Amino acid sequence: MKKSISILSAFLFLLFLANISYAETWYAKGNDASGKCMTCHKEKTHGLYNQWKSSAHAQHNVTCIDCHKAKSGDPDAFQHEGTLIATLVTPKDCGVCHKKEAAEVEKSHHATAALILESNDAYLAHVGGGNPVAITGCENCHGSKIVIDKNQKNKLSKKTFPNSGVGRLNPDGSKGSCTVCHTRHSFSKAQARQPEACSKCHLGPDHPQKEIYEESKHGNAYFTHSDEMNIKSDRWIVGLDYFEAPTCATCHMSATTKQKVTHDVGARIKWSTRPAISKKLDNWQKKRANMKDVCSTCHSETFYNGHFYQYDALVNLYDEKFAKPATDIMNIIKKNKLLKVKAEMGNEIEWYYWELWHHEGRRARHGAAMMGPDYTWWHGIYDVLHNFYFEFIPAARAYKNKEVNAYINKLFKEDKMHQWLSKNTQDLKKDIKSGKQKEIYEHLFKQ
C-alpha cells in the first residue's frame, strides 16, 4: 500500500514539473534578461505570459528576448528595462529559425497585400471615406506601412501600429506579419489550420470565401466533424492524420502525401480573380496540378477534373460575356473624356463597373471555385447580369456618344450570348428545351 502511494506521489510530482516549461525552468536559474521578462510579464500581463508558457516556443526554450531583441541602429529599437528591444516581430525575425517559411511568405500573394494601399481599393477609402477608416478597415487586413515616431515610447506611430495585416510593410524591409495566422503569443499551428483563421479578411461582399466555405459541403463536413480533425497533431497530412473534411489550410497550404507544407498561398491557384478580367498566374499548370493533388486525397480523377472543367468555364463566361465588354466600354468612355467628374469613382458609371467586377464578379468566380452554388449564381452572376444590362449599359448609353453606342449595338447584335434581349420568351424557352441555348456557350468549355 505504501509503495502504491509512493508511486502515485512521484507521478503527481512529475505532472507538476511537466507543467513548468523548459524555458521557464532554465532561465530561472540565471539568464537575467529573459528571466526579467518572464518575471515581470507573469505579473503584469499574465494572459500574454500564459499564452507563451503553453506554446511550442516555451517548450523549445524560445523566450521573449529571442524574438524581441534588437540591434543598435534598428529603426524601431528602444531601451526597455536595460535591454534593447523592438516591439515589432517581423517575418525577418521569425526567419532566423523558420527560414523556409519566411522565404515562402516573402514570395506569396499575402506579402504583397499592403501594396493595395496605392490602388483603387484604398483610394476610395481615403477620399470617399477618410483616413481613419483606411487605417481601421483596409490596413487591418492588408497591412499598414509601419511609421517610426521617435516621440513614442516604442517608436511605432499610433496611426500604423497596432497592425497585423498580412502584407504589413515593416521597418526592416520585410513584408508581412506571421501573427495574422499564428496569433501571438501562443503562435499555434492548430489555430492556423482552422477556417476561422482566414475569416478575419476573407469574407464580405467582395471576397466571401468564409461564407462560401460554410455553404459548401467541405464546410458542412468540417463543422460536423470538427472534433475529429486531429487539429493539434504535430504532423497533419490530409488523408492520413485527418480525412473527414478540408479546411482553407488543407487546400492552400498544408501537407499531402506528395507535397510538403507551404506558406506560399498561391502555390496551388491557377487564376487570379482580383482584377476586372481574370488572369492566369505564372506557372499555372503546375499550380493547378498541386491543387488536384490535394483533391485526389478524397475524390476521384473524374470528379476533380470535372469540377475544374466547370469552374474554368464559369471564369470564361464572366470574362467573355461581361468583364471584357464592360472594360472596353469604360476605356472608350475615358478615351473620349466623357466622365463629368474628374476624380476617379466620382461618376456613377464607375461605381457600376467597380461593383460588376470587384464585388459581383468576384463572388461568382469564388463561388464556382469553392463549390458554393448560391454565391456562383444568386450572389454572383445574377447580380452581374442585372448590373450589366440594367445599370451599366444604360449609364453608358446616357453619354449619347457614337463610339460607345456603336460598340454596344454591335455587341448585342453579333454576340449570341447577348441576343436573348431581342427575342421573345417563348422562343427562348424552346431554345432551352432543344439545347440551342446551351450551344451558344460551348466555346467557353475548354480542356
Based on its alpha-carbon atoms, the radius of gyration of the chain, rounded to whole angstroms, reads: 27
The CA distance from 201 to 112, in Å, is: 15
Mark whether 313 and 439 lie in a shared domain: yes
Task: Decide: 55 and 185 in contact? Cβ < 8 Å.
Answer: yes
Q: Within this chain, do residues 171 and 96 fall inside the same structural domain, yes or no? A: yes
Residue 287, in any domain of the structure? no
pLDDT at residue 229 in the model = 97
The DSSP code sequence of 101-147 is HHHHHHTSTGGGGGGGGGSHHHHHIIIII-HHHIIIIIHHHH--B--
Q: What share of the chain is helix, strand, coil (3-state, %, to 5)?
A: 60, 5, 40
Here the cell at position 407 is: 460598340
Q: Is residue 181 part of a domain?
A: yes
At 418-427, the pLDDT tens digits run 999 999 999 9
* Grid cell listed for 399: 453619354
Span 285-343, pLDDT tens digits: 999 999 999 999 999 999 999 999 999 999 999 999 999 999 999 999 999 999 999 99
Instruction: Judge if 354 and 390 occupy the same domain.
Output: yes
SS3 state of residue 156: strand
- Domain extent at residue 150: 84-187
Whether residue 355 has pLDDT greater than 80: yes
Same domain (yes/no): 13, 140 = no
Q: Say if 38 falls within a structural domain.
A: yes
- 64 and 33 share one domain: yes
pLDDT tens-digit profile of 51-107? 999 999 999 999 999 999 999 999 999 999 999 999 999 999 999 999 999 999 999
> 346 and 307: one domain?
yes
Stated length of the chain: 447
Domain end: 187, 221, 251, which one?
A: 187
In a shared domain, residues 53 and 109: no
* Whether residues 348 and 432 fall in one domain: yes
Same domain, 376 and 425: yes
Contact present, 67 and 93 (Cβ < 8 Å): yes
Question: Are 320 and 380 in a shared domain?
Answer: yes
The tally of domains found in the chain comes to 3
**Do 352 and 380 lie in a common domain?**
yes
DSSP code of residue 356: I
Residue 272 lies in a domain: no
Contacts 24+ apart (CB under 8 A), 144-152: 144/114, 144/117, 144/168, 144/169, 145/114, 145/117, 145/169, 146/76, 146/88, 146/170, 146/171, 148/75, 148/76
Predicted confidence (pLDDT) at residue 369 exceeds the cutoff of 80: yes
Q: What's 284's DSSP letter?
A: H
Residues 122, 58 within the same domain: no
Is the residue at 385 inside a domain?
yes
* Residue 390 lies inside a defined structural domain of this protein: yes
C-alpha cell at 355: 461593383
pLDDT of 77 reads 95
In a domain, 17, yes or no: yes
Q: Record the pTM.
A: 0.91
Decide which of 157, 187, 217 is a domain's last residue: 187
